[in-house]
Amino acid sequence: MPSNRRITLIFGGFVAAVAAAFYPIYFHPLTHTDEYKQMQKINRAGINQADVQPVGVKIWSDPFKPKS
């Protein structure tokens, strides 16, 4: 196997591994926002935001809401 082909396969494998690891972290939540909104409603139910936030820190906002 020529050296260039071997380097290309190694580099291509590395890029594929990084892409495979990056998909569930970034692209899946980006494309399934309704699913994540429901999870956050369940996880944040019964929590008084002002009680858990440190003094001087902005209160939680909806991360899925478009910025104005």
pLDDT of the residue at 1: 59
* Separation between Cα atoms, residue 25 and residue 50, nearest integer Å: 29
More confidently predicted of 25 and 68: 25
With cut-offs at 50, 70 and 90, classify the pLDDT of residue 68. Answer: low
Give one DSSP letter per residue of 5-41, joined into a string: HHHHHHHHHHHHHHHHHHIIIIIHHHH-HHHHHHHHH
Q: For the segment 2-61, what is each residue's pLDDT rounded down to a tens digit?
A: 789 999 999 999 999 999 999 999 889 889 989 988 998 898 888 887 777 778 777 777
pLDDT of the residue at 17: 97
Straight-line distance from the first to the last Cα atom of the chain, in angstroms, rounded to the nearest whole number = 56
